[in-house]
Every structure is written in structure tokens, then in C-alpha cells.
Structure 1
Amino acid sequence: MTGAPWYRDGRLRYGVGIEDTFIPQERIGHRKLDEYELTQHYARWEEDLELVAQSGAEFLRWGIPWYLVEPEPGVFDWSWIDRVAAKMEQLGLRCIVDLMHYGTPLWLENSFLNADYPKRVAAYARAVAERYRDVWSDFTPLNEPVVNAEWCGENGAWPPYLVGHDGFVKVTMQLARGMVCTQQEIARVHPDAVFVHVDAGFRYEGETSPVSREFLEERRFVALDLITGRVESDSVLGVWLASHGVSAAELQWFRDNAVTPDVIGINYYPRFTTARIEDGVMTPQRADAAGLRDLVQLYSARYGGPLAITESSLVGTPGEKEEWLRDSAEELAALRSEGHDIVGFTWFPFFTLVDWLYRYDQKQPDEWFREFGLIDLVRGADQGLERVPNSSLQVFQELAARSR
């Protein structure tokens, strides 16, 4: 690497992300969820990448469908990824590669609980980094570990379908081991790689039940604290993990193998990142720029910088999206002036996504469309999903141009 890395030049970069949740496992009442398939990104990826370039985004969060790339253990099919990587290079797009966005391959028995999961995910990540080292240098080992642990380990919604705090801990420990091993393996073959660890921001209002707000406000940091070797046996998190069977030796392994993110990503949605929880029922609360400020200050104090907002958007009218773009830009400028090392803002998702709840019924994808994007998806007579920019795209382009 020549010169300082991109996140050290003092600038705030604007980027976008393409929603890339992959849950290929099916069972009665649970159908396959592949956002690329549902939004026709597999068919329209060239157009999508060209729209990203036209938006003025300096980077793109984009994920690899592991379950398709490695259809059998150790057997890789790079044919589609090769074409996408070449197009990104042609367009001059910096890709922050999402290596793991919730789902595992069908052949990995018991999903994240598989004893070989950390080794398997790290081997896949190493293969990606090795093959594309001349094109891609930025990697997210795993997207939103706490959300992943909630859906897979606490709520029983995704494989391996565990429930409760014990399930949450079991999945979290495996995810965290995989994150550490992934960073280590990539660094071995790509010493100049940049690691952007992405955490979901969680905020709470009022008293929460049945779990206390004080505990939830600590638990939200569990994965990042584990991989950076911060969890001591006598800490709140250490005691809680031990109560669910995590040994002192396991915690020591994380301290001995601690990895350091180059950039910590915070995902913040102004209309549902903040929640009130009563009797286990979560009610989203609108928090706007105050919530963004709160999370930046919390992460900055706990981990330092650099920081990036790796997801932010809302379902609303184009005018409401324009307002959030301007409000967040103003708040980030203020935070940066106060010394917070914020290096990126990501509108995510770039276009319409299909709500995850699509997985649990037989409605058509269109009935689950959620218009988060700067680009809307409109079904044509030929059943194709046309990409139609809305007026918020122009505001994004203006902000991105101004930040250069």
C-alpha cells in the first residue's frame, strides 16, 4: 500500500449498499430468502453498478452469496463474482465486501453451530481475498453480529433456530470466533487489507422488560468486545457469558487472538434503531439525528475511531429521505468538528428491499417491498423490476460531490 489508507485522509466519504441477506435453507412455513434473487440483482447487476457510479458514491457495500460461491465444501464457483469484480474495477468503485450477511451454505450442518464453522468461513474468506487481492482491499468479516445472533440464536427465526439467552450466547461465540479467524486468514494473504467491522446500533428508551435496559445497553457491544479482546471474566459481559457456559479459557482465547478493526461501522436507522421494550414486545421509536449523535459518541468513547455510518435510510416519501440526508449530513459535520473521527456515511439499501418477513408466508415479493432506497423498484409488464430513481438521489449526489 502506498501512502496513507483512505480512512486516514480526514475526509467524509459517501457510499451506498445493496441489501444482501441470504438465508437459503427452507422448511415448512419458511421459504428461501435471497435478496439478490428477489430484487433481480443477479440479472441486473451491471445496471445496478452503473447506477451506483452515477450516484457519486465513493464506495459500495456489497456482499458475496457464500452459499452459491461454495456449493460444496472447498469447491468454488467464481464465474459470476469474477464479472462483478471486473465491472467494479472498470467503474472505479471501492467495494467494502460483505463476506457474511446472515446465511451459511446448505451443506454446513447446523449452520453456525457446526464445530467447523469458524474454520470454514475463514477458509472461504481467505479464498476471496486471495483471488481478488488486485481488485478488493476492504472487507467486512460479518455483518451485524448481534442481529445475526438474535434471529438465529434468540428468536428461532433462522438456522440453527435456537431460542433464548442460551441460544444467543452459543451463536454469538461462534460468530465471534469466525470473525477473528476471518480477519487473521485474510491478513495472511492480503497484508494491506482494510477491515470494516459492522455493528447494528441499538438504542433503548424507558425501562425495558423482562431484560433490564442497563444490561441490553451492554449486550449490544458483546461481539465487538469479544473480537477486540476486551471481555474480562469479572465484567458484566464476562459474568453473563459464563452463566451460559462460556469458560474462562474461551474468553482468554479472544484476548490472545484479539483483532483490531481499521474502521468500525455503525448501522443507524432513524425510525427503528431506537426501541421501547415492554414484556418482550419491541416498539420502534423515532429518534432522528439525536440518536445518530448518541451512537457516534458511545462508539467513539468506547473504541475510538475511525468510525463510519455503514447503514442508514428510512421508508418514506422522497421528501422525507431528502430531509434525513440533509439532517444526517449536518449532524455528522458537527460531530466531526467536535473531534469524532467519522470517515463514511452509507445510504443502505440503495434500492427497494424485500422485507425479511417475506420468508414466512406465500405472498408475492411485491407485497413485501419496502421503499428504503434512492432507487425504487417498479414491476413492468414483462415482470422485470425497473430501476427508477426518486428525487432523493439528487440530494445524495449533491452531498457526495460536496464531500470530495
Structure 2
Amino acid sequence: MSALFRSFMQGGFECSNHRRPDGASHDLLVDTGHALHPGADYAALARYRIRTVRDGLRWHLIETTPGQYDWSSFLPMLRASQDHGMQVIWDLCHYGYPADVDPFSPAFPDRFARFAAAAASVIRDESDDVPWYCPVNEISYWSWAGGDMAHFGPMGLGRGSELKRQLVRATCAGIAAIRQVDARARFMLADPVINVAPLTADDVDAAEHATQGQYEAWDMIAGARGHGLGGRRDNLDVIGVNFYSHNQWRLDGPRIERSESDYRPFRELLMQVHNRYQRPILIAETGAEGDLRVPWLRYVCDEVAAARSQGADIHGICLYPVTDYPGWFDGRHCPTGMVGYPDAQQERPVYLPLAREMLDQQARFTPAPVRYGVGQRIAGNVQEPVQA
């Protein structure tokens, strides 16, 4: 299995920039401090052998006037990634878009494609690395949250299927536009994997239908359904699987806990994706809060190892988010990260139990001998940066 990424264990920076129903807008790259000092963050992760990250462009800041692009919010991040040898999978649209854009509009896919092509041109001219993109993040979740439930923009109610088709159109148009600019480009298509169990005996068919819905966006992108959306087989490059503890529930009911009989091991969900698409897989998001961070990551890694032993072509696991962040709707401190909020000197405290687990898992999935760099030491079975 050839490696697609510079590190198997990866870190994701929360880059959502959604609009809430109350009209407030969020920019999580600002709220977490990452946008202000990306180089310091990349350097901090590199000290723990993380060389591949997910990060994002903020379309709403870049294209405030239609067709005119201001890259000042992005170039410092791009150049910092180059300075620190960081491989980045760039999210182009993570729930956010310019104020004048209507995702339900027929013009939306072409507008996004032009932005994607412009971004690809900037990245091509700034970097010799093979570029990686996630064109539109979590199409299935966004269609539900933004198209059916009005949790955030575009505040649709009962329009999830319509929004999903629009986001697929935009994704396919964006991929085609990027390839015109840079034929080397690679793509990661991120969506949650789920399991919906019946609440009653009468719910079996409905629960199965809900579960099967997780494949719809990927199928459309690959051209296997929803003809006329721009789908084609080679669009489905690397499948990004997002998986958290809340990804399994009973139909119209509560979450299924890992201790319950209806819970399906993550390895089974991964094998279903592998068998269906026969494409490389990245665990594009996973994580937990507080004291659950280490046991959850260990569970995910054990399940990934089991799926790989059964033939699944899995190339990495991205801790997401790798920093703590404020809750989307209440602003509470969510302690999910390997590193916390930056202090006045832009130093982030390290949650050492999770950092050690990340290092152990990096070694587990990267069996080649590792040369330790200057300023690093071995402490027990983990590598830690030497304290000044």
C-alpha cells in the first residue's frame, strides 16, 4: 500500500464559517486562533510527527465582490504550510459562502467552480507539491442541517434533497475546473458514515433507507446515480469518512452507545465503504471531548487496523479538530484537541495523554524506522519535544 499522505496520523483545523439562524456568522479559524498564527500551529503539530493536516479557505472573505478575489486571508496560511513542510488538504467550502450567493440558485455550481479554479491557480503558482482539495465538506450532513432543518445556512426546510444535488453539482464542477488548472490535483470527498437502527419492529425499512442515504452523495459524485449532475467515476478519488460517537442512532430516537447490541463496529462500516467503492479511504474526521479523547481515538485506530487487515485501503486518520474550539451555537469551550487555545505568546497547551496516543498510533501505522530530529527525545514509548 503506497502512502498518499506524509503522515498517517493527521490533524484537522476547524474551518467552518457557517451562518446561524439568528443571523450571526462564525469563522472558526479566527475563533480558534489558527488564522492569526498558522505557522506556529503547523510547527506545534510537526513536533508530534503530524505532517498532513486539513485546513480551509474562507470563500466569504476571498470573494466579497463577484468575480474578484482577495487572497490576503489565505496566502499567509499557504505560505506557512510551505515553510513548515506541511501537506494540506484544503477545504474550499466548509458550510460558508459569500453573502450574495444562494446555494439553491442555478448559478451556484458555476460560481463555486470559478472560485475553485482561481484558488487552484494560486496554489499551483505558490507550491510545487501535489495539491489536495476537499471541494465541499460533508454534503450529506450539510444537506440535512442546512437544507432540511435550517440549523445553519442556507436555512432550508424540507429542501435537503434539492440542496444535496446542488452541492454535488458544485463539487463536480469544482473538480473539473481545478483539473483544467492543475492536472496533478487530488481530491478527498468527506462525508459521515452512519448506522440507523429501527426503534420499533415497524421501523426496519425506514431505518435501512436512512442508513443507505449515507452513500447517495458519493454515488452522485461518481456518476452512479443522479445523472446530469456532472458525476463521473474518476471524481471519486479518495473517500473521506467522518466518524464520531454520535454517528449511530435509532430512527427518530436516541444515540446508540458502543455497549449496546445495535451498535455496529466501525470496522464494519469501513468495510462497507471499501467494498462498495474500491477506493482509497481517509478517516477525515474523528475525535471526542475531555477524558474520552484517548479511549475514543484508540478505539478508532483499533478498528482501522482491523479493517486494513481485511483489505480496506485506508491511508490515514485525522484528529478533528486538533485544537479546542468554541461550540457552534453556545460558544462553550469544547476540549477536543491535542492542543488548546493559544496564550498571549501564541503557545498552545498540549494535552499530553492525547499527544502520546497520537505518537503511539503514528508509530503503529508507520512501521518504517524513524529518525529523530534535533530537539527531540524519546520518553518511554513516545517522542516528545525537549522543553527549553
- The 3 A distance-change label for structure 1 pair 112 and 291 is farther
Partner of 2:355: 393
Match of 1:144 in 2: 138
Distance 1:323 1:87, change over 3 A: same
Quick check: 1:138–1:195 contact (8 Å CA) kept in 2? yes
Q: Is the counterpart of residue 93 in structure 1 residue 79 in structure 2?
A: no
1:275 aligned residue? 249
- SS of 1:159's equivalent in the other structure is coil
CA distance in 1, matches of 2:294, 2:264: 17
* 8 A contact 2:197–2:204 mirrored in 1: no
Partner AA of 2:359 in structure 1: Q
Calculate the TM-score normalised by the size of structure 1: 0.82
Report the aligned-residue RMSD. Answer: 2.5
2:192 and 2:7 mapped to 1: Cα distance?
Answer: 20
Structure 2 distance, partners of 1:63, 1:291, is: 31
Aligned residues: 357
- Asked if 1:262 is matched to 2:262, the reply is no
What SS class does the counterpart of residue 22 from structure 1 fall into? coil
Is 1:218 aligned with 2:212?
yes
Q: Secondary structure at the match of 1:57?
A: coil
Paired position in structure 1 for 2:329: 357
1:187 equivalent in structure 2: 179
- CA displacement at 1:171 relative to structure 2: 0.5
8 A Cα contact 1:230 1:255, kept in partner = no
Aligned mate of 1:48, from 41, 45, 51: 41
Distance 1:324 1:159, change over 3 A: closer
CA distance in 1, matches of 2:7, 2:278: 16
Q: Offset of 1:256 from its aligned partner?
A: 6.6
Could you tell me which residue of structure 2 aligns to residue 235 of structure 1? none
Map of 1:22-41 to 2, 5 A cutoff? 22-23=17-18, 25=19, 29-41=22-34
Percentage of matched positions with identical amino acids: 24
- Distance in structure 2 (CA, Å) of the matches to 1:88 and 1:220: 33
- The superposition leaves residues 182-203 of structure 1 with CA deviations (integer Å, 9 ceiling, x where unpaired) of 1111111111111111111122
Name whichever of 251-260 and 177-186 sits farther off: 251-260
Any conservation in 2 of the 1:229–1:259 contact (CA below 8 Å)?
no
Cα contact 2:267–2:303 (8 A) shared by 1: yes
**Aligned equivalents of 1:26, 1:353: Cα separation in 2:** 17
1:5-404 equivalences in 2 (<5 Å): 6-7=3-4, 13-23=8-18, 25=19, 29-108=22-101, 111-133=102-124, 134=127, 135=129, 137-164=131-158, 167-207=159-199, 212-231=206-225, 251-254=226-229, 257=232, 259-269=234-244, 271-278=245-252, 282-287=253-258, 290-317=264-291, 320-358=292-330, 365=331, 368-377=332-341, 387-391=348-352, 392-404=354-366
> Cα gap change, 1:117/1:210 in structure 2, threshold over 3 Å: closer, same or farther?
farther
Change (3 A) 1:331 1:114: same
User: What secondary structure sits across from 1:299 in the alignment?
Assistant: helix
Rounded to whole Å, the distance in 2 between the matches of 1:311 and 1:26 is 22
Structure 1 residues 123, 158: CA separation in 2 closer, same or farther (over 3 Å shift)?
A: same
Residue 206 of structure 1 and its aligned partner are, at CA, apart by 2.9
TM-score using structure 2 length: 0.85
Name the stretch that deviates more: 306-315 or 198-207.
198-207
SS at match of 1:225: helix
Contact 1:144 1:198 in 2 (8 A): yes
Deviation string, structure 1 residues 58-79 (Cα, Å, up to 9, x no partner): 3101011110111111111112
* Paired residue type of 1:313: G
Gaps of 5+ in 2: 367-388
Map of 1:245 onto structure 2: none
Answer whether contact 1:12 1:345 (CA < 8 A) is retained.
no
- In the alignment, the residues of structure 1 paired with residue 2 and residue 167 of structure 2 have an alpha-carbon distance, to the nearest angstrom, of 27
Distance in 1 (CA, whole Å) between partners of 2:54 and 2:306 is 25
Structure 1 CA distance, aligned partners of 2:26 and 2:184?
A: 34
User: Deviation of residue 84 (structure 1)?
Assistant: 1.4
CA distance in 2, matches of 1:78, 1:136: 20
CA contact (8 A) 2:20 2:153 kept: no
Asked if the contact 1:39–1:385 (Cα under 8 Å) also holds between the matched residues in 2, the reply is no
The structure where helix makes up a greater share of residues is 1
Contact 2:224 2:231 in 1 (8 A): no
Q: Which amino acid aligns with 2:282?
A: A
In 2, the alpha carbon distance for the partners of 1:14 and 1:88 equals 17
- Distance in 2 (CA, whole Å) between partners of 1:221 and 1:331 is 20
- 1:136: Cα distance to partner? 5.4
Structure 1: runs of 5+ lacking an equivalent:
232-250, 359-364
Q: 1:275 to 1:341 in 2, by over 3 A?
A: same
Taking the aligned partners of 1:265 and 1:199, their CA distance within structure 2 comes to 6
Report the CA distance between 1:258 and its aligned residue.
5.0
Go from structure 1 to structure 2 and tell me whether the alpha carbon gap of 1:346 and 1:402 turns closer, same or farther (over 3 Å shift): same
- TM-aligned CA deviation for residue 80 of structure 1: 3.2
